[in-house]
Amino acid sequence: MAHDPDGRLLAGRAWHEDAAVLRIPPGKALVQSVDVIAPLVNDPARFGAIAAANALSDIYAMGGEPWCALNIAFFPTSGLDLEILRAMVQGGADMLREAGALLVGGHTVDDAEIRFGFSVTGLVDADAIAVNDALRPGDILLLTKPLGVGVLSTAVKAKWEGWEEGEEELWRWCSRLNRGGARVIRELGLRAATDVTGFGLGGHVLEMARASGVSARLALDSLPLLPRAADYAKNGLVPAAGHANRAYCRPWTRARAPVDAIREILLFDPQSSGGLALAVPADKLGAAERLLAAQGEEYWRIGEVEPLQDDAFLLVE
């Protein structure tokens, strides 16, 4: 049976049931998401753990707590040792256990390329959800992980100079759960937040600003970057998705002054298991920073929200 300390699983994968059945605590709403990624690192167990942390972030971004998950694996069963798949699943299961969620089943597809992820179900208080369309002028924007995952993973795949250190940085940050930020959302009643993933910080903040009818101003000099990310970007190690993100966001983006071109590229760098972007009302900023610090969470002030200016939903300076 799955690790189930509180007896939430009524029927599951132990006897090859058709589906899992779980108890839901009274008064809770469900928050659900699914995410699948390609390998960022070479170690399969670490990749599995990162894939789980990445999928869990969608739950945390809404202020939820993970409850259960199903894994989804695309794997060339005739071309690679099945021990690799087993290690991926075990790494993901270990990360789910750290998050307090049960792995209750999954599905594997025989495919030419490895991809791995999870469908995650979480619990949330129905009147305490952080959403995309609730940014308000005066909100301060905090970010809880540095940028550059897409660039570093490109360097790792190319085995560029320093790639081994880059892989360790990816593991250090991408395996960190975003539950500290989720706790801030719940305890302070934050209205708006998002996790930073494939569209990059710029793309996800732009989504929030457009949904909310405001302008989000980001200070590029304040953006935290992973080690070597800027150097790799200068050498052209930028994933195609980063260029696509930047091009898509350009019509709604304005620069208030000449900006650093490399930092602008990294603003749109696609992240896997990135941090949370938290919109914190000014009167709650001190409490949010104290709560993050008390949990050992790193964070950076990266900008603030302003009234909409000429349909420029994203302002960079």
Tens of pLDDT, residue by residue over 256-311, are: 888 999 999 999 999 999 999 999 999 999 999 999 999 999 999 999 999 999 88
Residue with tokens 């300076």: 317
Say yes or no to pLDDT of 124 above 70.
Answer: yes
What pLDDT does residue 283 have? 98
Question: Where do the domains of the chain lie?
Answer: 9-124, 140-316
The share of the chain scoring above pLDDT 70, in percent, equals 97
Lowest mean pLDDT among 52-56, 179-183, 202-206, 253-257: 253-257
Mean pLDDT across the stretch 133-137? 97
What pLDDT does residue 27 have? 87
- SS3 for 54? helix
What pLDDT does residue 181 have? 97
What pLDDT does residue 1 have? 40
Say yes or no to pLDDT of 203 above 70.
Answer: yes
- Better-scored residue on pLDDT, 2 or 90: 90
Residue 164 is which amino acid?
E
Cα 190 to Cα 12, 50, 108, 223, 268: the distances in Å are 35, 26, 37, 22, 25
pLDDT band at 20 (very low <50, low <70, confident <90, very high): confident
Tens digit of each residue's pLDDT (9 = 90 or more) over 213-243: 999 999 999 999 999 999 999 999 999 999 9
Q: Is 3.30.1330.10 the CATH number for 9-124?
A: yes
Whole-angstrom distance, CA of residue 80 vs CA of residue 86: 11
Same fold: 9-124 with 140-316: no
State the fold for domain 140-316.
Phosphoribosyl-aminoimidazole Synthetase; Chain A, domain 2 (3.90.650)
Select from 133, 147, 127, 120 the least CA-distant residue to 276: 147
Say yes or no to pLDDT of 89 above 90.
Answer: yes
